Amino acid sequence: MRKTNGDGGAVNGVSYRGVLRRVIFSTALTLAAGTCLSTSATALATPLGPWLPSPPADLSVTGKNALNAQVAVGPDGTTTVTWQRHNNVGKNSVQVATRSATATTFSAPINLSNPYQNASNPHVAVGSDGKTTIVWLTAGKGGKSNVQAATRAAGATKFSAPIDLSTPGQNADRPQIAVGPHGITTITWSRTNGHHYVVQATTRAAGATKFSTPTNVSKPDASASAAKVAIGPDGTTVIIWARSLGMNELVQASTRAAGATKFSTPVAVSSPGVYGYDAQVAVGPHGITTITWTRYFDGLNSTPEAATRAANATTFSTPVVLSAPGEGANSPQVAIGPDGTSIITWSYVNGTNVMVRVAMCLAGSSTYSTPIDLSAPGQDAFNQQIAVGPDGTTTIAWVHRAGQEIVQATTRDAGTGVFSTPIDLSAPGQSANGPQVAIGANGTTGITWQRSDGTNTIVQAVTARPNR
């Protein structure tokens, strides 16, 4: 997905058409194929970059808390944001608002879930065919939680009635969704079998109207949780999760090759005997796959690690440590560019503050560049998210704590290879958190978050169109 918006020349009263400092990703004078970028931080007076964000817009209605906002951008730039909001009958409902490619504002929110059943944890994805699917967790019969989904066809204004995806009778948890070429859609979740949670998945094939019967992806002899799914441009689908091993958790992965109907036998990605959690996955061209997670040692000693499976390969590399010992680094996020470059962002403690930083590695290499800081020193930054566009433009958003919490973002123009100076996206005065970022095929970027109005939390969003 991708993110961009050039509707407004100012946000929070600050003009972004002026001159701003940028952080350079400098490359070595000679960069051989299969080697990683070397990096240095340099200040330059240059324009912001490839996009200009619109002013933040309120999407949810005031008066009740709205949480867990998610965003997706379609191939024509249509931006869809979904969230859960407390309703008037004491339940949480899943809602959605849309901004079409030609509109200047988002639509009024509409309800997707049954208002008399608690619904939570929505996720959204849009295919290359323009079809939008939202998945969420709902309280079903007997108080058991089920996975539900609703779909809006390309060009339509309404979503279908919700359908059940998980089998009723046992609790399901944390649904996730990914869409690949021609609208191939895979949804994954964890569901208890009465003894352990097992990762399951269902797929709607290209051009199909129905999802397949759910199948088990993880082994049923130990609990598997926090499943994530990603689909590459060739249709390669990878599901990852954390498998419980008593005192430790092992990151595992299963792959369905492009054109195949079954997922592979799970393989271990993190090292046995250590605690690996909060794993994320991205799939790039030719099936290049990078998985990153937080490895916990002791106390505050944790570090992001990453493993990559090269194009057309069958095994993952040995895990690579991304952060120095003792930095308390965690919460890595990953994206892969159209050239196969893996980009990972995470937060760490620099001795005084929590900082957001980034490192990258070219396709064919297992070595990451020296990390550089993206957030400003002196104040905490965390909760980072990343998306890469079809031309390699990269946007990273995070929460910056300066009295209150503000959502910030920086963009790296694929043409120049530099990250812009971070800009504030949310308005000052009340705390904002939970940013999510997505980029569409035409370069349109959408970023959403929740911001307090002093009483309740409201979902807000900005969009940006390519400034080219």
Q: Is 181 helix (H, G, I), strand (E, B) or coil?
A: helix
User: Which pLDDT score is estimated for 468?
Assistant: 53
Distance, CA of 122 to CA of 111 (rounded, Å): 12
Check if the beta carbon of residue 235 is closer than 8 Å to that of residue 259: yes
10 Å CB burial of residue 210 (0-12, 13-18, 19+) is: exposed
Among 48-57, 182-191, 422-431, the range scoring the smallest mean pLDDT is 48-57
User: Which pLDDT score is estimated for 299?
Assistant: 57
pLDDT above 90: residue 1: no
Check if the beta carbon of residue 386 is closer than 8 Å to that of residue 13: no
Q: Where are the beta strands (DSSP E) in 322-402?
A: 330-336, 342-349, 354-361, 372-373, 381-388, 394-402
CA angle 305, 395, 293 (to 5 degrees): 15
Cα 150 from chain centroid? Answer: 20
User: Which pLDDT score is estimated for 54?
Assistant: 86
Mean pLDDT within 408-423: 86
Average pLDDT, the chain: 87
pLDDT greater at residue 157 or residue 67:
67
Distance, CA of 320 to CA of 335 (rounded, Å): 16
User: Which pLDDT score is estimated for 47?
Assistant: 38
DSSP assignment of 28-91, as one string? Answer: PSS--TT-PPP----EEEE---SEEEPPPEE-SPTTS-EEEEEEEE-TTS-EEEEEEEE-TTSS
Task: State residue 283 phi and psi, 5-degree precision.
Answer: -120, 130
Residue-wise pLDDT for 267-291, tens only, equals 999 998 888 999 999 999 999 999 9
CA-closest candidate to residue 363, choices 317, 399, 394: 317
CA-closest candidate to residue 309, choices 337, 330, 281: 281
Mean pLDDT within 431-446: 95
Percent of the chain topping pLDDT 90: 75
pLDDT above 60: residue 11: no
For the ranges 1-10, 30-39, 111-120, 418-427, the maximum mean pLDDT occurs at 111-120
Distance, CA of 31 to CA of 29 (rounded, Å): 6
The pairing of strands 110-111 and 119-126 is unpaired
User: Which pLDDT score is estimated for 407?
Assistant: 97
CA-closest candidate to residue 393, choices 11, 25, 18: 25
pLDDT above 70: residue 2: no
Give the CATH number of domain 10-293+420-466; options: 2.120.10.10, 1.10.3720.10, 1.25.40.80, 1.10.645.10: 2.120.10.10
User: Which pLDDT score is estimated for 467?
Assistant: 60
How does residue 300 score in pLDDT terms, banded at 50, 70 and 90? low
pLDDT above 90: residue 466: no
pLDDT above 50: residue 28: no
pLDDT greater at residue 2 or residue 382:
382
User: Which pLDDT score is estimated for 190?
Assistant: 97
How does residue 325 score in pLDDT terms, banded at 50, 70 and 90? confident
The size of the chain, in residues, is 468
Distance, CA of 290 to CA of 402 (rounded, Å): 33
The DSSP output letter for 269 is -
The backbone region for 200, taken as left when phi is positive above 0, alpha when psi lies in -120 to 50, beta otherwise, is beta
Side-chain half-sphere exposure of 43, counting CA atoms within 13 A: 5
User: Which pLDDT score is estimated for 13?
Assistant: 29
User: Which pLDDT score is estimated for 39?
Assistant: 37
Helix, strand, coil shares, percent, the chain, to 5: 0, 50, 45
pLDDT above 60: residue 49: no
pLDDT greater at residue 272 or residue 458:
458
Q: What pTM, to 2 d.p., does this model score?
A: 0.90
pLDDT above 90: residue 376: yes
How does residue 50 score in pLDDT terms, banded at 50, 70 and 90? low
Residue-wise pLDDT for 176-212, tens only, equals 999 999 999 999 999 998 899 999 999 999 989 999 9
